[in-house]
Structure formats: C-alpha cells, structure tokens
Homo-oligomer: A and B are copies of this chain.
C-alpha cells in the first residue's frame, strides 16, 4: 500500500516508529512525528493523547478479535474460537507488510519501562476482551476467563515468535501453533 493511502493514524504511527529508530524515543517530539507524516500537530492530538499513545493506537485489534471470536462456528470450543480470532488478526493486523514496523515497535517498548507499563495494561485489556467475547458465546464466566488466560499466553508467544527478525511464517500459522502447544501443556499443571 502506498504511503498516502494509509489513514492519518497509521501514517503517524509509522512516522513515529521511523523517528524513534533514527533518533531515539526521547529525542523525538510530537511535532517531529506530525511533520514526518505530513500532518499538523493538531491532527496528532485528534488521534493520540500523547507521544506514548502513538505506539498503542491499535484498538482496532480488539474490535476485530472480538468480532472474529463471535463469528466462530457454533460448535467451536473456546480455544478454537480464539484460533479463529487469531486468524483474523493475521489477515488484517499482523500482516507480513507490517512485520518490520512491529519489530521496531517492540525494540522501542523493550527499552522504556514506562512504555512497558502501558503495554502491560494493554495486555490486561486484551485478555479481558477475549474473556468477554468467549463468555458471550455462552461459555460460563470462569471457563471463559481460563480460556482467555491460555489465549493470552499463546498470543504473547505468537507475537514474539512472529516478530522475531528470523521468522518467515505468517501470524495465524504461528498463533495456531502456539495455541496448540499451550493446550498440550495444560494436563501437566
């Protein structure tokens, strides 16, 4: 996709990651990011609360995951429904074209404790979203919570493996594999 076809929020996120890689997170201002994206500073603040927010704009991810879990076949187990959700993330969010940016994003977050806090909170929200989506399929609350905990572990494994610089597999493949490994480890606890 050509750069100018991307929406403003995505352009700002891409510009931010470029700048963070070039000159560091601390040495990049919101104005720098807006200018690199060819947008006004005010546009930045329509999309993100602060500089930190530009790395955590992906609330679309939550909505797509929840929708896909709801749309999984009626007979699917909670973990199978999660796998359907991960398939959609692989198709729409963690696409091969976005892998390089994800690698840069991880490097920035790994270097800053305050960004790790925000990432941790996002992980908590993601787990809660998965639990709610599974419960809405008629699964009792606690079983939905357990499935979401296992799903969160598989998601973390998949995200790390997929965004490893040496990886060549697609996200949905990596995620289904991680989910299978987690499920296989359950009887050992």
Interface set of A (CB-CB < 8 Å, partner B): 77-79, 116-118, 120-121, 123-124, 139-140, 142-143, 145-147, 149-150, 152-153, 181-183, 185-186, 188-189
- Least distance between A154 CB and chain B CB atoms (Å): 10
Contact of A149 among B118, B142, B153, B188 (CB under 8 A): B153
Contact of A140 among B79, B140, B185 (CB under 8 A): B185
Report chain B residues within 8 Å CB of A123: 120, 124
Report chain B residues within 8 Å CB of A150: 146, 149, 189
22 contacts between A and B (CB under 8 A): A77-B189, A78-B188, A78-B189, A79-B189, A116-B121, A117-B118, A117-B121, A120-B121, A120-B123, A139-B188, A140-B185, A140-B188, A142-B185, A143-B185, A143-B189, A146-B150, A146-B153, A146-B185, A146-B186, A147-B188, A149-B149, A149-B150
Closest to A145 in B: B153
Extra contacts besides A78-B188, A117-B117, A186-B186 (16): CB < 8 Å? A78-B189, A120-B121, A139-B188, A140-B185, A143-B185, A143-B188, A145-B153, A146-B150, A146-B185, A146-B186, A146-B189, A147-B188, A149-B150, A149-B153, A150-B189, A186-B189
